[in-house]
Amino acid sequence: MSATILFTIISLSAIGATAAIILYFVAQKFKVYEDPRIDQVDEILPAANCGGCGYPGCRGFAEAMVKADDLSPFYCPVGGNETMAQVAEVLGKAVEAKDPQVAVVRCSGSPTHRERINSYDGASSCAISSSLYSGETGCQFGCLGLGDCVDVCDFDAIYIDKETGLPVVVDDNCTACGACVKACPNVIIELRKKNKKDRKIFVSCVNHDKGGVAKKACKVACIGCSKCVKVCPYDAITMDNFCAFIDANKCKLCRKCATECPTNAILEINFPPKKVKPANPAEGKETPKAESKETNNNEINKKEG
Amino acid sequence: MLKTFPKGGVHPAEGKYSANSAIEVLPLPKQVSIPIAQHIGAPSKPLVAKGDKVKVGDKIAESTGFVSANIHSSVSGTVVKVDNILDSTGYKRPCVIIGVEGDEWNESIDRSTGLKKEISLTDKEIINKINESGIVGLGGATFPSHVKLSIPDDKKIDVLIINGVECEPYLTSDHRLMIEKAEEMLVGIQILMKALGVNLALIGIENNKPDAIEHIKKLVKDYPGIEVHALKVQYPQGGEKQLIKALINREVPSGGLPLDVGAVVHNVGTAFAVYEAVQKNKPLFERVVTLTGKSVKKPSNFMVRIGTPTSDLIEAAGGLPEDTGKVINGGPMMGKALNSLDVPIVKGASGILIMPVELSQRKKEVNCIRCAKCVSVCAQGLEPYLLNRLAQLEKNDKLETDGVMDCIECGSCAYICPAGLPLLDYIRLGKSRVSQIIRSRKQ
Amino acid sequence: MNKLFISPSPHVYEDTTVKRLMFDVVIALLPALLFSVYFFGMGAIIVTLTAVVSCLAFEWLIQKYILKEEPSITDGSALVTGILLAFNIPTNLPIWIIIIGSLVAIGIGKMSFGGLGNNPFNPALVGRVFMLISFPVQMTSWPVPTGFNNSYTDAVTGATPLAVMKEGIGAGESVSAIMDKIPSHMELFYGYMGGSMGEIAAAALLLGLGWMLFRKVIKIHIPLSIFVTIAVFTGILWLVNPESNADPLFHLLTGGVMLGAIFMATDYVTSPMSVKGMWIFGIGIGIITVAIRVFGAYPEGISFAILIMNAFVPLINMYIKPKRFGEEVKNG
């Protein structure tokens, strides 16, 4: 009996030892040299693997940064400046601070503003719907509301508001990785500079139709009247094919354009109510509809965030 | 045993309500909107501007490349404007809008009704004429016909195949054409044979049109080299690859063209248009369109000028039924749902199908139970359940190796799926993504 | 005018639904159920009801309270699982064992993988094999078919023809001697033998197969390939030595071959997608079944065979593809 046990122990040990030796030599033979700094950088990165930097995952991004001489084309939108500074320290290179960004949805075409003139019955995907036709409304530029942006978001930073049927960005969760921007077939979502207290002024419309056509399809469409362009003291607003655009880098948040806009296509978000207007906390403008809706959304945002 | 293609296929309810309605000429509309992109390939360039007077058959937009087609005015009158109008693509596209005044035809068009059998043009002249007349594949694909007739030097064609299958349920425009314009069509086929330099033409007709088969069989004796074959009713037999397989048992290689197996396929409607263009000098500005549906009062076949609003056809067939839920441009398997009734009829529109509400909505989606019905009906031998999954996960490499580019988008998989899954929706999405990748790789 | 519906093509659908397919399977199972009730009496009814009700209940409870999704028990798949589970067990099995078996079948066999369409193994077989391993005594004491004279709890029990055969051969008896102890082939065809509830009546099961083929629920390939493989394999053994191997017809008619080949192996979710794959699957099941019956420890092996081949299905699906149109031309 004891001989059997002894034999078992010896034979198993022998097999183990042989295997260990083989493994050792194989490991030596196939050893790949890897810059140890890649691991260090990888450690610093947020490990979200969102692809927001343009590289396949955090590891790929780390490898690219370690190889590169200059860090200026690299930016991790999730970790932000803090992470980039740490990376720069490890690599002994300089990095400039970049403005943090946040995604904004440039469409306010809820059913109350933008009438549904047919009903889509295909697969629930914006990409499929947009390859088929111009959408449920008369506006062929706006949000299709099927949530491709929500599907690609890794950070729970965007959801479809049930009432408006439009995506809402949760500012606190948004890392500006840009996945939703790429997913949106109508390019409604834009990454804009993040202002303090999450204040935002932007044209919430991407309709390039002529004013009349646009207005007929959607009450809060930009009709290309150029009033905002004229009133802007900082030349931040440009008009492209009947649709205004506010350059976030030039905008000083003076809100003159928002007051001027006849269709309320320009939204002002997270501002205190204006003093000159009579006290009405939920709204600060002539036609309250769009504004109050937007304010509500932001309240929801706060709760969620 | 009737011929058919060997693998896959479905047989949806035929619903050919308008099979016995003779072709009627639709009254002239008040205004036409003629899109400048009615074909596969480069959009044409408009030649007219606001205020120009045009006659029927005048060229109003010019082809902008080899794979492109001329567009002719279908009415006489004044150009109102060139503007973006919602067309059957579901988007606003540039259209020439013409207000109709009278019906004055371009003098060069031979308006006599007699059959003209002698073909006086040479093969090169025929192809030029077809190109000049803006003829595109009228089966629905709208591929410019002169391209299909210009055979590269390294290819040898020995057979012309004429597609009279009309495998789409409901549609009857080709069926009526084969009965009422058979002689013209046969001369058209002879013209195409001359242009291609082949001595054999096979007409494939599905067996649910016995009157057409019999009629053409009688006539075809006077036309040497043309044969008629009855085919078993099986969708998607009208697909080029399936039809070639069914008729001459040759398999177009994956990613290849019918040219690769020595065949060229044209639709019967195209053959008729070729006859009119070559023998009567009449460019393509009207076509036969079926207007049908379960609740339509008077299912009809109309001879329609290109650019006529869909609503005109609906009025002529007894008005829009109360229970309309969906209006489809084309057949129920591959047609496109319209989001407006003002959409103009284009060259590729073989029918307008009006579906009642209860047939307009999709089945409720449930989990895939892996019943493999989609695999067994796929005429291309693909695995739709897998392609659907891969497309949803955006696995584009895998999609390509699993043959997504071979998909002919016939819709048999989504038709048969007991779980009501939108298989073709996602496969089509995957296909467009993969084709983009392939294109960018070539550059 | 109503709002127009817009969707990508196709715009028509065949009226088949998952629900209809499942209920066609239930209809196909009915003849066998009636035969079982005729042979086993009340026990058959009690066992079937218990299995069906507990399968439906567990599916509903799990979907509602654990997965927190819309319960989908009306699609009929749990009903089919319940009936098949009942078919796979003796009619005198204690109710509590059936309930545990149902929980395993639905909970572990199906729901833990994500519900209908995602389970790699046939749920009813998972339940059956679990019970067979956990309660071998109860699971292998089959009541003798005596109709309604059978009381549920203390029926007269006996061995199945397969077990008699196996024991006999093991004890060195000749096949012809054993054959005298068991029912004739004709009786086997009608189902007059001991065994699990639904597996006995080959005639009724073949009737079900006919119905499913007629309604295009399944294709013939899987059952046919299993039958052919078993017949060929056992046929060879029989021709080599007819005194120590039973004839092919005996193998086809006894045990769970009919039930397994017609209803268990053809389960959509756990069988291959391509025709070629189905043949491989069926041949594999046939070979393993005969191997277990002739060389293995158990008298019957089809449920193990199906489960083993279930495990190979993803592999078969990955490597056995249907022939693509135009593929050959490209290569040649």
> In this prediction, what percent of chain A has a pLDDT beyond 70?
89
Of residues B40, B18, B363, B3, the one with CA closest to residue B213: B3
pLDDT of A289 strictly over 50:
no
Cα–Cα distance between A261 and A266 in angstroms, integer?
6
Rounded CA-CA distance B432/B253 in Å is 20
Which residues on chain C place their C-beta less than 8 Å from a C-beta of chain B? 1-2, 4-14, 16-18, 20-21, 72, 75, 77, 115-118, 219, 268-269, 271-275, 317, 321-330
pLDDT score, position C328: 65
Residues (pLDDT < 50) of chain B are: none
Which residues from A are below 8 Å from C5, CB to CB?
Answer: 118-121
Q: Rounded to whole angstroms, how far apart are CA atoms B163 and B306?
A: 22
Q: Chain A contacts of C3, Cβ < 8 Å?
A: 116-119
Contacts of B394 in chain A (CB under 8 A): none
Instruction: Please tell me the predicted confidence (pLDDT) of residue A287.
Output: 43
pLDDT reported for residue C152: 62
Average pLDDT over residues A299-305: 39
Q: In this complex, is the C-beta atom of C6 within 8 Å of any C-beta atom belonging to chain A? A: yes
pLDDT for the residue A293: 43
* C1–chain A nearest CA distance, Å: 11
Q: B26 in helix, strand or coil?
A: coil
Distance, in angstroms, between C27 CA and closest chain B CA? 18
In whole numbers, what is the pLDDT of chain B averaged over residues? 92
Residues of chain B with CATH 3.40.50.11540: 1-25+108-361
- The Cα of B328 is separated from the nearest Cα of chain A by a number of Å equal to 13
Provide the 3-class DSSP secondary structure of residue B48: coil
Whether residue B381 and residue C11 make contact (CB cut-off 8 A), yes or no, is no
Cα–Cα distance between B35 and B94 in angstroms, integer? Answer: 6
pLDDT of residue A304 exceeding 80: no
Please answer yes or no on whether A131 and B361 come within 8 Å at the CB atom.
Answer: no
User: If you measure CA to CA, which chain A residue comes closest to B363?
Assistant: A121
In A, residues 85-124, which contact B (CB 8 Å cutoff)? 117-118, 121-123
**What part of B 169-188 touches A (C-beta under 8 Å)?**
none
Superfamily holding A36-91: Electron transport complex subunit B, putative Fe-S cluster (1.10.15.40)
Question: In this structure, what token pair is assigned to residue B126?
Answer: 């025929």
Binding partners of B (≥3 Cβ pairs within 8 A): A, C
Interface test with B, best of C11, C323, C331 (most B CBs within 10 A): C11
Rounded to a whole number of angstroms, the distance between the first and last alpha carbons of chain A is 69
pLDDT 10s digits, A120-170: 999 999 999 999 998 888 899 999 999 999 999 988 999 999 999 999 999
CA distance, residue C2 to nearest chain A CA (Å)? 8
- d(CA C109, CA C77) in angstroms, rounded, equals 13
Asked whether the predicted pLDDT for residue C175 surpasses 80, the reply is yes
Q: B1-25+108-361 sits in which CATH class? A: alpha beta
Model confidence at A296, in pLDDT bands (50, 70, 90)? very low
Give A203-250 pLDDT, tens digit per residue: 999 999 888 889 999 999 999 999 999 999 999 999 988 999 999 888
What confidence tier does C148 reach under pLDDT thresholds 50, 70, 90?
A: low
Which residue in B334, B375, B416 is closest to C9 by CB distance? B334
From chain C, pick out residues whose CB is under 8 angstroms from the CB of B414.
Answer: 10, 13
The span from the CA of C51 to the CA of C61, in Å, is: 15
Q: What is the pLDDT of residue C276?
A: 92
Domain residue extents for chain A: 36-91, 101-304
According to the model, what pLDDT value does residue B88 have?
85
Q: Cα separations (Å) of A1 from A4, B72, B321?
A: 5, 101, 93
Q: Which residues of A touch C7 (CB under 8 A)?
A: 120-122, 132
Percent of chain A with pLDDT over 90: 40
- In chain B, residues with a C-beta closer than 8 Å to the C-beta of C275 are 376
Q: What is the distance between the alpha carbons of residues B380 and B406, in angstroms, rounded to a whole number?
A: 7
Instruction: Give pTM, 2 decimals.
Output: 0.88
Contact B426, A129 (CB under 8 A): no
Query: Range with the lowest mean pLDDT among A266-275, B32-41, C267-276?
Result: A266-275
Q: What are the tens digits of pLDDT across the range B232-268?
A: 999 999 999 999 999 999 999 988 899 999 999 999 9
ipTM above 0.85, yes or no: yes
Contact C3 A128 (CB under 8 A): no
pLDDT at position B31 is: 94
Q: In this predicted model, what pLDDT tens digit does every residue of A188-208 receive, in sequence order?
A: 999 998 888 888 899 999 999
Cβ atoms of residues B289 and B352 within 8 Å: yes
pLDDT at residue number C154 = 57
Query: What residues contact B27, with CB distance under 8 A and at least 6 apart?
Result: B312, B316
Does A185 reach chain B within 8 Å, measured CB to CB? Answer: no
Confidence of residue A283 (pLDDT cuts 50, 70, 90): very low
Q: Is B10 on the interface with C (CB under 8 A)?
A: yes
Average pLDDT estimate for A73-99 = 85
Contacts of A117 in chain C (CB under 8 A): 3
Residue C105: pLDDT over 50: yes
CB contact under 8 A, A120 and C7: yes
**Residue B72 DSSP SS3:** strand
Residues linked to residue A203 through DSSP beta bridges, in sequence order? A266
Which pLDDT belongs to residue A301? 41
Q: Which of A153, A152, A150 is nearest to A161 (CA)?
A: A150
Nearest residue of A to residue B86, measured between CA atoms? A134
pLDDT at A305 over 70: no
SS3 of residue B99 by DSSP: strand
